[in-house]
Chains A and B, each alone.
Chain A
């Protein structure tokens, strides 16, 4: 409220809009559950060194006297074959999963959206053709496959996995925004801006872009989940994070060798991936309902 009284009327209106949206969002139990999951995972990731019971388990740590312990009060999720605490490694694993999602999306959204805006606005010209045909090429193969190929050619590492997934991910934003922008450009408010002599930049970023934001936002929250899934798949195969980095996908792959006897080594990291992805998915669904979007 203080903000509303101090700031300009525009800001006050935005603040009101935000409050209304938050009210609607918080009425939906599904999105609240998602938010709780995401906030929980983020908290554990950020404060992993503080909250994990055995922080040294995250690295090159070996303690054979504690190896392969089933879940107990001392080790809630048990220990792996090197005697590392699985719960602690999961907390640190959240860091890599979230980092994967955040880095990829922050690299991808801006170029993807700008290309989509430009192609959509100049629909039917050579600019549209060039941008969208290049996009089609990138969309011609499932992203995981090309990401695998790129990671394989490079040396497998967390950084290269992020780069590979980013290279494969921007076309989705271009395609989404292209669809929106090419229909928005025929709206009266865009035509009015054109008639009054507004600059191209103004039309693209101040008239068209604000009307795409809700879709972009929704897609981003769903994509956080998908990128995390792809990241875990890459490291599951061994083309992503390398040991001893506690990546959830690597942990599942390593633990799978000791199934079914030492089930806790693989199952808990797998559940951790699911909870993280579920959280972002539920939030994304909440956004979709909130903005009444049909396609994202």
Chain B
């Protein structure tokens, strides 16, 4: 199956999933009790104003009609108005999403690189002190909630040692680079402002690392176990028997096939990054999409809640397609789109 056909199939499937997700989140947000209009206008707003707004938002119509209006709007790029920020939801997304994507992508890179590195070293030198310390680190990383890491890092490196900034995306006095992607670090890099780029990374360090540690530990565990399994396989012994240099054995014959299970779960780890960003952004006061998400949830801002979930669904699906493509590229046995043998 060609790459294009695989992509096409995945895209059709994704559209179906997103459609289902939209029904799910729409139902959840509308069927359950609570009066969002009353909440938005306040308890002292006159009844006619509440009625007006309800009619304006089609809340007086049956559910499937409401869904129709919502979907028709969404397909035209109109996700309704946020009752919380009093702006179109799409405008909020444009403002807040880049900050979260930037943070999560940075965390994802840190997670993947260090997770694989730790796991590889640990598996290559299994049952030595290196291995044991990595394994202990992995257990701690896996069982610690990201908000606990975030609080500890904020306290230790932000307040006590004062090595890293404790909030914000750039130091005051540093001008934001022109808006290209909305991700400050990337925009700075694209416009060649290295000092701004460094400053942005410096601000991202603490939240990104608190996000990354859990997934990193997970990746390290999986990489370690595949590497130490593969190390015992005959093909490694025969490669050594043929006199292939040890470096090449490790990097080419051991590491590459061992990465497949690790990368397969990258998609899941990415999900945990997206989810935990909700907590970490809150702690570091990171002006991102997740903090926005929490705020609109706490304010029962239905349009915005539905939009937040849908956007994160899209992000998650795109990441998973990318992960599948990488795995297929790494593993010639997995024919694209073919059944993954279980």
What is the interface of chain A, defined by CB distance below 8 A to chain B? 133-134, 136-138, 140-146, 148-155, 179-180, 182-183, 225, 229, 232-233, 236-239, 249, 252, 256, 259-260, 263, 266, 270, 273-274, 277-278, 281-282, 295
Contacts and interface: CB of A to CB of B under 8 A. Distances in A.
Interface in B233-284: 271-272, 274-276, 278-279, 282-283
Contacts of B155: 259-260, 263
Contacts of B151: 252, 256, 259, 266, 270
B143 interface: yes
Contact of A142 (B18, B32, B271, B282): B271
A153 B305 contact: yes
Contacts of B298: 152, 238-239
A263 B159 CA distance: 13
Given A140-B18, A141-B313, A274-B148, A150 B139 contact: no
Interface residues of B, number: 48
Given A137-B24, A142-B316, A153 B275 contact: no
Interface in B64-100: none
A265 B271 CA distance: 30
Contacts of B322: none
B171 interface: no
B230 interface: no
| Interface secondary structure of A, over-half rule | helix
Interface centre among A137, A140, A229, A237 (most CB of B within 10 A): A140
A252 B34 contact: no
Interface string B286-316: 0000000110011010100100110011001
Interface of B: 13, 16-18, 20-21, 24-25, 28-29, 32-34, 139-140, 142-145, 147-148, 151, 155, 159-160, 271-272, 274-276, 278-279, 282-283, 293-294, 297-298, 300, 302, 305, 308-309, 312-313, 316-317, 342
A175 B273 CA distance: 22
Contacts of B21: 137, 140-141
B20 A149 contact: no
A256 B278 CA distance: 17
B316 A236 contact: no
A252 B148 contact: yes
A146 B144 CA distance: 21
Contact of B25 (A149, A233, A278): A149
B305 A270 contact: no
Given A256-B151, A260-B159, A149 B275 contact: no
Contacts of B20: 133-134, 136-137, 140
Contacts of B34: 153-155
Contacts of A182: 342
Given A133-B16, A143-B275, A260-B159, A278 B139 contact: yes
Given A260-B155, A281-B139, A144 B148 contact: no
A156 to B, nearest CB: 9
A136 B17 contact: yes
Given A145-B275, A149-B29, A233 B145 contact: yes
Given A136-B17, A143-B275, A236-B147, 14 more contacts: A136-B13, A137-B21, A142-B272, A149-B28, A152-B305, A153-B32, A225-B143, A229-B145, A233-B145, A239-B297, A252-B145, A260-B160, A274-B140, A274-B143
A182 B276 CA distance: 33
B147 A148 contact: no
Contacts of B144: 270, 274
24 contacts: A137-B21, A141-B312, A141-B313, A142-B316, A145-B274, A149-B297, A153-B300, A154-B34, A179-B342, A182-B342, A233-B278, A236-B145, A236-B147, A236-B279, A249-B145, A252-B147, A252-B151, A256-B151, A259-B151, A259-B155, A260-B160, A274-B145, A274-B148, A281-B143
B145 A145 contact: no
